[in-house]
Amino acid sequence: MPESSLLESPPADPGPSARSRPIVVTALASAAALAVVSGLVAEDLRTTLVTALAGGAMIAIAWWTGRAGRARESALRTRLATLEAEAQAREVRSEAFVRAMHDIAYRHVIATDEVRWTGAIEDLFDTLPEPLRGHLDGWRSLLHPDDVAVAEATLSNLRTSDDTRIDSEYRLRTADGSYRWFHDRGVVRRDVDGSALEIEGLLRDVTNSVRLRNALAEEQARMQATFDQTALGVAEGTTGGRLTRVNPRYCEILGRSEEEILSRRFGEYTHPDDRGAEQAHLQIMQRGTPVSYSREKRYLRPDGKVVWVTITVSLVRPLAGREPFFSAILEDVTARREAEREAAESRTRLARYAETLTLAIEAERTRIAREIHDALGQALTSLKMDIAWVRRRLSRDVDAVTGAPITDRLDGMATFIDETIVVARRLAGELRPAILDSLGLAPALRAHALDFARRTEIVFDCDVAELPLPRTTATALYRIALEACTNVARHARATHIWLSLRAVGEDAVLEIRDDGVGFDPGSRSGSGMGLVGITERAMLAGGQARIESTPGHGAIIRVRVPIAAAPSPADALEAP
């Protein structure tokens, strides 16, 4: 095919072979021209032609190869530029993420001590000179003096060990001059020989976490110190009754070692008489209601001594997923119980003495009243009879005019004797009213009400029932009523008084109420000897007295005693 037809009629869809035809034609033309030139100087035309054709072919191949290489190089450059752009974008995104997290990322080249920092570095490096920011010395200058040795030891360890990670905490000085805690977590890159080349890591501000951790450690130490040094015995255990933890005071109260106590179940050292109640309380608490209980119980020490304690047991429900447990707090109350026992014995002895004294006083009152009524009354009566005899003899032997002064004197003496007899009878009645012994408490109270109203002009309402009371109880209630009425007459400025005696169940209730000025029972003026005497007499009768009053609203004294004979204090002293 002529060369002109190859150039003028290209195929409709030329492929790679068609596109290479101009190259081949050009190469052959060049070879032919070279053959002509070579034929002028070469002896062998065939050799010249072969050489020319070979040269043309080499030119064509070289041209084709160069074009393909340039295309691949261009594609590679484009791909490389794309990868670099993506890497830069990823680096920007990473730095933005680190900054958003308020962290600091770094890359430390160990051979040169160069450091590249990214992220939230303003708080650290704002006051740091620019040359130091890219060097390890800049980081060293920010270290807290107490943390320099530890940080340097960590870096030195990298050169002598095969560690691949860094995980430590230390303090760095920030731009405002304060020190903050940072958590340094990094990865160490090493060469094939194991030498450290560089470190890539992340610094995170953990100041708040460290503060919380230190506060928690301090609180735990404080709680542990409280647990160990408290004056109360403290124990913890499972709901099954096995102790898991006790403090020294708990061991001291029981007189046993911690190992011995933890090896036994809770309550095994309890006094046998208290174990049943202890188990019942534990079983109820294990069901969840109530969550705590408090009681007094006894423990047995190894030497056989009984120790009284007040124990408070509480069910503790921790966070979800944790088994509930119980805590027990013990207070040694042996000394208090002993003091209470001695005080009870002392009170019983005092009550016995008071009862004996009261009975003696009543007996003496009765004796004196009888003496006044009998001896003094008889003497005064005899004296009055003698005066009457003198009057009769005087009127017979002396005329009226001469005997008038003597008669007047005798009349005065008779009148005085009558008044003395009245006073003697009143004193005898106050010492021991005969009506109380002969007719009982109710008539005695009615008689007292009439006499009190006559003497004080205070309206007295008396509503009393006949009750079968022992003599000592009746006497005590009578004396209480007299003392209460005397207080009303002296201090209350009342116009009306009400007294009632009735049976309520198996008790007798005596109530005295007035409309006077009242008083404050808690003040010193409201705790006089009269009120104390009322309270003591009620206690001796086996009952109690309750005194209520408000300034301006009168007062109420309510005494409640058993109708049956109260036990003697001597019997209470001998009771177990």
The amino acid at residue 205 is D
Q: What is the pLDDT of residues 466-493, one digit of tens each?
A: 999 988 888 889 989 988 998 898 888 8
Return phi, psi of residue 478, to 5°.
-65, -45
Q: What is the CATH number of domain 231-332?
A: 3.30.450.20
Q: From the CB of residue 371, how many other CB atoms can be counted at a distance below 10 Å?
A: 14
Sequence spans of domains, the chain? 3-72, 101-213, 231-332, 340-432, 441-576
Q: Is the CB of residue 563 less than 8 Å from the CB of residue 508?
A: yes
What's the rounded Cα separation, in Å, for the pair 462 and 477? 14
Instruction: Return the pLDDT at 128.
Output: 83
Instruction: Return the pLDDT at 92.
Output: 66
Look-up: residue for tokens 């320099």?
148
Average pLDDT value for the chain? 78
What's the rounded Cα separation, in Å, for the pair 505 and 187? 91
Q: Is the CB of residue 550 less than 8 Å from the CB of residue 556?
A: no
Instruction: Return the pLDDT at 512.
Output: 94
* DSSP assignment letter at 135: B
What's the rounded Cα separation, in Å, for the pair 135 and 535? 92
Helix (H, G, I), strand (E, B) or coil at 219: helix
Question: For the chain, which ranges sit under pLDDT 70?
Answer: 1-67, 91-101, 288-290, 321, 351, 353-355, 357-363, 365-367, 369-375, 377, 395-403, 425-426, 428-432, 522-530, 565-576
Q: How far is CA 126 from CA 11, 179, 358, 491, in A?
A: 72, 14, 96, 88
Name the class of domain 441-576: alpha beta
Q: SS3 for 244-294, per residue? A: EEECHHHHHHHCCCHHHHHCCECCCCECHHHHHHHHHHHHHHHCCCCCEEE
Instruction: Return the pLDDT at 17.
Output: 46
Sign of the CA dihedral running 451, 452, 455, 457: negative
What fold does the segment set 101-213 form as a domain?
A: Beta-Lactamase (3.30.450)
Helix (H, G, I), strand (E, B) or coil at 47: helix
Instruction: Return the pLDDT at 150.
Output: 87
The answer to whether 231-332 and 441-576 have equal CATH topology is no
SS3 content of the chain, % helix, strand, coil (to 5): 55, 20, 20
Q: Is the pTM of this model over 0.85?
A: no
Q: Is the CB of residue 190 less than 8 Å from the CB of residue 196?
A: yes
* DSSP assignment letter at 492: I
Instruction: Return the pLDDT at 119.
Output: 81
Instruction: Return the pLDDT at 121.
Output: 80
Q: From the CB of residue 192, how many other CB atoms can be counted at a distance below 10 Å?
A: 5
Q: What is the pLDDT of residues 167-180, one digit of tens each?
A: 889 999 988 889 99
Q: Is the CB of residue 440 less than 8 Å from the CB of residue 465?
A: no
Instruction: Return the pLDDT at 575.
Output: 38
